[in-house]
Amino acid sequence: MPDQEITTEIQGDLSQLKSNQQVPILTYHHIWSDDDPCPLPAVAGKYCGHIRRSHFEQQMCYMAERGCVPITHRELVAWIVSNEPIPRRAVLIDFDDNRLNVFQNAFPILQEFGWPATVFVISSLAADGKSPWGISGTTSMNWRELDMVLNENWLVGAHTRTHPMLDELCADPDGLNKMKEEIVGSKTDIETNLGISVNHFAYPEGRGHLVAEHIVVEYFEGSRLWNPDGMPVYNNKHINRHRLVANNVSEITSEAEFSRLINGVSH
């Protein structure tokens, strides 16, 4: 067989292998200090991304031991759209809702590893650093703190202005305008305050919606869903970049579950 044919055959195999790569997104909401009262789950499996700092650190150490390489949504979407290369064991670390305890507890740990993450920002919270939500109502990362994570190569994405359930807005006679204001408004708020371009979006509570998706597709390069139940789920080369899937990781994620999630990465 001529050399040329051998080369072509091998490249074909490699291309196939690469296209089968599966990339997990780990989604967290709160990284509590170990002496904080980390609220217990009401329903197992619906413990939405609350985790203690030491447990989060264990998970990051485990990923480092396994050779995982965190990337952000920018690299993930560039891989899907333009075939830009990503590491063989690429993983994404997402933080929704720009909680201040993420800045206080997760940021220093990720700095030690030199790892980036993606934070999806509710822009009204970044403006005043507060949170409207009861037991989860810790303060939020403001523009200054978001600027600091940007300097460590984190990616900042949009997560609406006030975190409404977008599907419920459809029942409102002025729902379409409100939806657009929430989605596009959050992008504009972040771009204005941080001086960056915002091209990635995460749906509030991970709940995708067809009408909202029309707006999102027009203004963003990629967007992410999320479901607190069921794991692991992975993104591959052929996934719709506007329906990226993510795993809920929390204090009650067992070592075995986390291992399964990370080691399910094919390579």
Residues near Zn ion (CB under 5 A): 96-97
* DSSP secondary structure letter of residue 69: E
Q: Which is nearer to Zn ion, 75 or 96 (CB)?
A: 96
Exposure of 188 in the CB half-sphere (CA atoms within 13 A): 6
**Closest-CA residue to 102 (of 143, 138, 152, 64):** 138
CA angle (137 as vertex; 32, 121 as ends), nearest 5: 85
Can you tell me which residue has the tokens 């990629």? Answer: 222
Strands 90-96 and 118-121: parallel
CB of 187 to Zn ion, least distance (A): 16
CB of 220 to Zn ion, least distance (A): 16
- Bridge partners (DSSP) of residue 227 are 247
CB of 164 to Zn ion, least distance (A): 11
Locate 44 and state its tokens. 């197992």
CB of 203 to Zn ion, least distance (A): 8
Q: Which is nearer to Zn ion, 68 or 122 (CB)?
A: 122
The answer to whether 223 and 202 are in contact (CB under 8 A) is yes
Q: Which is nearer to Zn ion, 12 or 39 (CB)?
A: 39
CB of 168 to Zn ion, least distance (A): 14
CB of 206 to Zn ion, least distance (A): 8
When CB distances to Zn ion are compared, the closest residue is 96
Using a 10 angstrom Cβ sphere, with 0-12 exposed, 13-18 middle and 19 or more buried, the burial of residue 69 is middle
**Closest-CA residue to 109 (of 37, 53, 176):** 53
The answer to whether 94 and 26 are in contact (CB under 8 A) is yes
Can you tell me which residue has the tokens 């303060």? Answer: 139
Alpha carbons 188 and 158: distance in angstroms, whole number? 9
CB of 46 to Zn ion, least distance (A): 14
Alpha carbons 13 and 15: distance in angstroms, whole number? 5
Q: Which is nearer to Zn ion, 63 or 225 (CB)?
A: 225
